[in-house]
Structure 1
Amino acid sequence: MQSLEDDDPRRVGEYRLLGRLGAGGMGRVYLGRSARGRTVAVKVVRPELAGDREFRARFRREVDAARRVGGEWTAPVLDADTEGDRPWVATGYVAGPSLSAAVRQFGPLPGASVRALGARLAEALAHVHALGLVHRDVKPSNVLLAPDGPRLIDFGITRALDANTSLTRPGYTVGSPGFMSPEQTRGSKVGPASDVFSLGAVLAYAATGVLPYGEGVAPAVLFRAVYEQPDLLLVEETLRRNLLGCLAKDPAARPSPQLLRAWLDDDREATRDLATGSWLPAPVAAAIGRAAAQLLDLEADGTGTTHAVPPRPTSAPPRPEPAPRPTPTPRRPTVPPPGPAPTVPRRHPTAPTRPAPTRPGPTRHWRHLPPQPIPVYGPPRYRPPRRRRGWLVLVLVVLVVLLIAAAGYALTHREAQTSTSGSAPVTGATAPGVPGGGAGRNVVPAAYLGTWSGQALYSNNTPAGVVTLTVGTGGIGDRSTGSRLDNGTTRCEAVWTLVEVSSISLTYTSRLVRGTPGGACTGGDAIDRRTLVIERDGTIHYGVSRAGVVTQIALLRKTG
């Protein structure tokens, strides 16, 4: 929590603000207290959004949806003003971090915690859907972790199931990339199954600490969520099967929230952990306890500081005057006994004598102390001059290493050119049926090999023509695959070069060998990237992208 700044209000409604909890695209969230001493979270809308009619409608919908859901599944709404100059809403304060903050600070959650989290959120979604609502923005930052279970917040883009109109602009999709369902990404009708997909992505993030569809620019993440499979290799086997069901591309293939809860809590272990408050790992639970203790220690003046940490003074305190030293009482000199004088150890003639210790006076900084003499114990030690022969040897060794590396690079480059020239060249006449050019070093899985066909669509869902694709064996850099696109008036043929192989997809670049670039024919400048993904039903999702923007998609079935 941060202290209030000059432009922050000190009071909203009947709530006195103590500090700032955070800020987002909608506005700022403050920690406040009511007149009865209840701690609340107050969200205040930004001034530039207060005059937006569409935003006010969305804000009213958020407040209404949170009130309908109730405090068991979300932070309860205590008070709100949706019609004032600065709309605001006050909710009960959940003394716990968001899921995204907890994973960033403490790492992924253990399997038992993920199952308890999923069971509780699935139960919350079942309650939300029973009210005729769809959340549409389930993501880690909208999940708060509390000792008695998680809370689902921010119903800002919630929509009723029976709504006939949308409050968003045409062509504008709301949601968070990486957690949006494929139908939500396409702008299609969104139902309860969309929340299940988002919940599966949230649980995958909680279990691994990484996004299931990777990171990067939003278009690339959205494309992978629609056409590629999630990366769940780090998820334990039992939980992985459950999450794959949630992340199915077809909404009808996803489980209901009630079924998902039964999967995650088949032996009631998650329910027991939630009931006893032991569902979170020890570091997260300790952080929640510290936050609650600091909350109790907040000062009454609303500065957001705690009693344990007093405020820093605005100016340096005056230096205390040193106490006067008492006048020492003179002592009588001690007369040594008669006899020979004691032997005094001989010092070096140049070594200074150390002054006698004195009683400590006022404390002074070390920078203001007078310089102390440095003792000298004799003439400097003689050192012979260094020889430079070792440097010459080192330079010669480096030159020899560089010559050997250059010779190896030249030999490797020559072998690569020989290997490339030895692969079977592809002409325009043989593009759709090219033989495998990478015999002996094939990296293309057998499931992809063969001839495939299907209807291609442009990104705006208009037909582009029929695609016939022949996938051959080969390695990285081989031109072993070809395609033909026929839309009745134009026929385009291209050869493909394999550039990347992952556990779930193949990526090629294409070059047009027959046809006219533009229109239905693409790949003339060899910058198109073509991605193939094998689905569970044996079909291939085929996508064409240029500069990160999807231009064509197709669903291909094997024909030979």
Structure 2
Amino acid sequence: MSAFLGQGGMGSVYLARSRGGRSVAVKVIRPELAREPSFRSRFAREISAAKAVNGAYTAPVVDADTDCDQPWLATVFVPGPSLWEAVRVGGAFTFDRVCQLGAGLAEALADIHKTGIVHRDLKPQNVLMSADGPRVIDFGIAHVTDLPPLTDPDALLGTPRFMSPEQITGGALSPASDVFSLGLVLAFAASDQGPFGSGSNAQLLYRIVHTEPDVSALPQGLRLLVAACLAKRPDRRPTPAELLDALGTREEPAPPTVPPARRSYTPTVWAPQGRLGTVDFASNAQALLADGLTDALVIEAAGHGT
């Protein structure tokens, strides 16, 4: 039994259950693409590489068939809002919550990179906030380092607001590119804005390549770490392992003590935070189809509840 979630340039996505009762997201490739031997061969090789990604903070591949008439891929379904939705609904995260998020994402990148994969599209829409921590999803434009590219080498793949300088300029991509994107994701989570300002895609792309990030809106304890992730030179950025070490011991500096004014009293007001709501399976298609079901598929997890 399955439920249709949506469709895009590469095929259709369904929510289904395995025979054992596990919820999975199934992507079925379009017939015309399946008839292209080069696509089918590349798809099979990338699926094989993606199956090696099985960390606690990713949504792993559970099954696939690349030899049938319409190749398909099933990944673990992750119920929960995207980071983008969580910030839009609840506002910027606290310092501690950003550190927890960053540690989970750093661990996810370490698991991804050790298999030879560069994600290339790490952004808030591709981070699901599950009950047991963030999950990195949607490897739709991921790059397997030892395979030739499937797409046009001149194509700009990624989401402009969360791309690295070398990704924008067409330079060689390495795991450090994902670290740059991670810095942008953490800045968004901590401030609900980006360190390169707002504007058109062209303006953002120019600033990412040519200007320094403005991290002044971030909590003081995160500024140096995020700025390090956003270094222009890839070899100047920390590795995911170094980020894990830093985030695990990071503490927010205590604010300066200000003596209260005489005879003044400020009551503490408690306001409960609104819940993000229940999971809407139909909205899971938004995360998968935000950029279309892009080519060079490796893996696409499906969770995107509101």
Indicate whether the TM-score tops 0.5: yes
State the secondary structure of the residue aligned to 1:157: coil
**Equivalent-residue separation in structure 2 for 1:283 and 1:137 (angstroms):** 30
Matching residue within 170, 189, 193 for 2:153: 170
Matching residue within 139, 147, 155 for 2:139: 155
Matching residue within 59, 78, 97 for 1:75: 59
**Equivalent-residue separation in structure 1 for 2:34 and 2:48 (angstroms):** 18
1:244 aligns with 2:227: yes
Matching residue within 263, 276, 287 for 2:246: 263
Match of 1:432 in 2: none
- Alpha carbons of 1:92 and 1:162: their partners in 2 closer, same or farther (altered >3 Å)? closer
- Alpha carbons of 1:283 and 1:18: their partners in 2 closer, same or farther (altered >3 Å)? farther
Match of 1:208 in 2: 191
2:103 and 2:248 in contact (8 A); partners too: yes
Matching residue within 104, 113, 123 for 2:97: 113
- The percentage of counterpart residues that share the same residue type is 50
- Alpha carbons of 1:55 and 1:101: their partners in 2 closer, same or farther (altered >3 Å)? farther
State the secondary structure of the residue aligned to 1:78: strand
State the secondary structure of the residue aligned to 1:72: coil
State the secondary structure of the residue aligned to 1:229: coil
1:287 aligns with 2:276: yes
- Alpha carbons of 1:104 and 1:184: their partners in 2 closer, same or farther (altered >3 Å)? same
Match of 2:14 in 1: 30
Greater fraction of residues in strand: 1
The amino acid of 2:102's aligned partner reads G
Match of 2:75 in 1: 91
Match of 1:218 in 2: 201
* Aligned-residue offset at 1:215: 3.8
State the secondary structure of the residue aligned to 1:68: coil
- Alpha carbons of 1:23 and 1:111: their partners in 2 closer, same or farther (altered >3 Å)? farther
State the secondary structure of the residue aligned to 1:100: helix
Gaps of 5+ in 1: 1-15, 270-281, 296-303, 305-560
Matching residue within 166, 178, 184 for 1:195: 178
Deviations 1:49-82 (Å, cap 9, x if unpaired)?
A: 4445565456445533431111523212222123
The amino acid of 2:194's aligned partner reads L
- Alpha carbons of 1:287 and 1:46: their partners in 2 closer, same or farther (altered >3 Å)? farther
Matching residue within 20, 23, 27 for 1:39: 23
- Alpha carbons of 1:106 and 1:30: their partners in 2 closer, same or farther (altered >3 Å)? farther
- Alpha carbons of 1:98 and 1:46: their partners in 2 closer, same or farther (altered >3 Å)? farther
State the secondary structure of the residue aligned to 1:37: coil
1:18 aligns with 2:3: yes
Match of 1:229 in 2: 212
**Equivalent-residue separation in structure 2 for 1:268 and 1:64 (angstroms):** 40
* Aligned-residue offset at 1:156: 2.6
Greater fraction of residues in helix: 2
Deviations 1:222-267 (Å, cap 9, x if unpaired)?
A: 1111001223332111111110000011111111111111121116
**Equivalent-residue separation in structure 2 for 1:215 and 1:28 (angstroms):** 33
Q: What is the correspondence of 1:384-533 to structure 2 with a 5 Å cutoff?
A: none
Q: What is the correspondence of 1:352-363 to structure 2 with a 5 Å cutoff?
A: none
Deviations 1:120-167 (Å, cap 9, x if unpaired)?
A: 11112122222222222211121111111111112233333444x322
**Equivalent-residue separation in structure 1 for 2:240 and 2:84 (angstroms):** 22
2:54 and 2:111 in contact (8 A); partners too: no
Structure number with bigger Rg:
1
- Alpha carbons of 1:45 and 1:162: their partners in 2 closer, same or farther (altered >3 Å)? closer
**Equivalent-residue separation in structure 1 for 2:197 and 2:112 (angstroms):** 29
TM-score by length of 1: 0.43
- Alpha carbons of 1:114 and 1:56: their partners in 2 closer, same or farther (altered >3 Å)? farther
**Equivalent-residue separation in structure 2 for 1:240 and 1:162 (angstroms):** 35
State the secondary structure of the residue aligned to 1:265: helix
**Equivalent-residue separation in structure 2 for 1:29 and 1:133 (angstroms):** 23
State the secondary structure of the residue aligned to 2:3: strand
1:61 and 1:158 in contact (8 A); partners too: no
Gaps of 5+ in 2: 253-271, 283-306
**Equivalent-residue separation in structure 2 for 1:46 and 1:100 (angstroms):** 29
2:231 and 2:237 in contact (8 A); partners too: yes
State the secondary structure of the residue aligned to 2:176: helix
1:197 and 1:246 in contact (8 A); partners too: yes
State the secondary structure of the residue aligned to 2:216: coil
Match of 1:510 in 2: none
2:89 and 2:276 in contact (8 A); partners too: no
The amino acid of 2:167's aligned partner reads Q
**Equivalent-residue separation in structure 2 for 1:97 and 1:53 (angstroms):** 37
1:62 and 1:157 in contact (8 A); partners too: no
The amino acid of 1:39's aligned partner reads S
- Alpha carbons of 1:237 and 1:62: their partners in 2 closer, same or farther (altered >3 Å)? farther
Deviations 1:447-476 (Å, cap 9, x if unpaired)?
A: xxxxxxxxxxxxxxxxxxxxxxxxxxxxxx
1:64 aligns with 2:37: no
Deviations 1:252-286 (Å, cap 9, x if unpaired)?
A: 111111111112111699xxxxxxxxxxxx858x4
Aligned length, in residue pairs? 263
The amino acid of 2:202's aligned partner reads P
- Alpha carbons of 1:84 and 1:248: their partners in 2 closer, same or farther (altered >3 Å)? same
The amino acid of 2:175's aligned partner reads P
More relative contact order, 1 or 2 (CA 8 Å, 6+ apart): 2
